[in-house]
Amino acid sequence: MDKSLYVAMTGAKDILDAQAVNNFNLSNASTTGFKADLAAFQSQAVTGSGYASRVYATASSVGWDQAQGALTTTGRPLDVAVHGQGFIAVQGPNGQEAYTRNGDLHVTPDGLLVTSTGQIVLGDSGPISIPPSSSMKIADDGTVSVLPMGQPAQSLAAIGRIKLVNPDPNTLTREGGGLFLLAGGGSAPADASVKLSSGVLESSNVDLASAMVNMIDLARNFQLQVKAMKNADDNASASSQLLQST
């Protein structure tokens, strides 16, 4: 069998893998604070008997885009955006500490501060609980202050501070829902240099136009690989017929 069939087959498979990454990014183009996954192709020589006459491409993940998404002013006191590098600490699905850029915050009926996807926001000493209040404010250092019900405006009281962290991106692994975890488990220390903006949300950093173009380009390349597989099969059939006729 000619190695070209193997080259085309692996090319089609890896294009599907790259398409899956691109589709994942497209599906999160409107997710607050989402960071796009990155995939790249690299050349690999086909090993085996005979001459090294074939090279195929393999798709692999090269991490995620750390660029900040566009900031949109909402004016809502519970909307916050992280400036530059850094994350908001939340409770992950398995109870472990996780990190997110999603600053679309809400207060549950039980008084817990959570993200729009339901993750509990963590403070310096655990989950942040909000007492009954008439207004709420989040400072740039993550300090959460409330105005107790029936109290004058000058009675604003600090009840906790959102834990803000800035771990090395190389130590993070990606989870679903826009969450990140430390690769070896555990938790990152709070970092006072990480700042928030209140009344602002960070958009996804997915470039929608580029992702759409990439989707079309990958689809065309997949069709070319399928055509190459058919050509390899046709060539093998023709060679077999020639051998049979001699």
Q: What is the pLDDT of residue 6?
A: 72
Taking only the tens place, the pLDDT of each residue in 180-218 is 999 888 899 999 999 999 999 999 999 999 999 999 999
Q: What is the pLDDT of residue 55?
A: 72
Q: CA–CA distance from 236 to each of 2, 6, 10, 63, 208 (Å)?
A: 8, 13, 18, 40, 42
Tell me which of 48 and 223 has the higher pLDDT: 223
- Got the DSSP string for 110-173? TSBEEETTSPBBEETTEE-BPPSEEEEEE-TT-EEEEEETT--GGG-EEEEEB-EE---GGGEE
Contact 45, 10 (CB under 8 A): no
Q: What is the pLDDT of residue 178?
A: 84
Taking only the tens place, the pLDDT of each residue in 59-86 is 777 788 989 999 999 999 999 999 989 9
**Region for 9 from its dihedrals, namely left if φ exceeds 0, alpha if ψ lies in -120 to 50, beta otherwise:** alpha
Q: What is the pLDDT of residue 134?
A: 81
Q: CA–CA distance from 113 to each of 89, 97, 101, 102, 154 (Å)?
A: 12, 15, 15, 13, 23
Q: What is the pLDDT of residue 99?
A: 96
The Cα 143–Cα 204 span in angstroms is 25
Taking only the tens place, the pLDDT of each residue in 150-165 is 777 777 888 999 999 9
Taking only the tens place, the pLDDT of each residue in 115-139 is 998 999 999 889 999 988 888 999 9
- List residues bridging with 201 in a β-sheet: 72
Contact 114, 120 (CB under 8 A): yes
Contact 22, 11 (CB under 8 A): no
Q: What is the pLDDT of residue 133?
A: 84
Q: CA–CA distance from 205 to each of 51, 89, 116, 192 (Å)?
A: 45, 20, 18, 25
pTM, whole model, 2 decimals? 0.80
Q: What is the pLDDT of residue 101?
A: 95
The Cα 113–Cα 95 span in angstroms is 16
What are the extents of the domains in the chain?
A: 3-66+206-245, 71-202
3-class secondary structure, 88? strand
3-class secondary structure, 103? coil
pLDDT of residue 141 exceeding 90, the answer is yes
Q: What is the pLDDT of residue 245?
A: 67
Taking only the tens place, the pLDDT of each residue in 81-104 is 999 899 999 998 888 999 999 999
Q: What is the pLDDT of residue 50?
A: 62
Q: What's the pLDDT band for 235 if we cut at 50, 70, 90?
A: confident
Q: Pairing relation of β-strands 180-182 and 80-82?
A: unpaired
The Cα 237–Cα 48 span in angstroms is 22
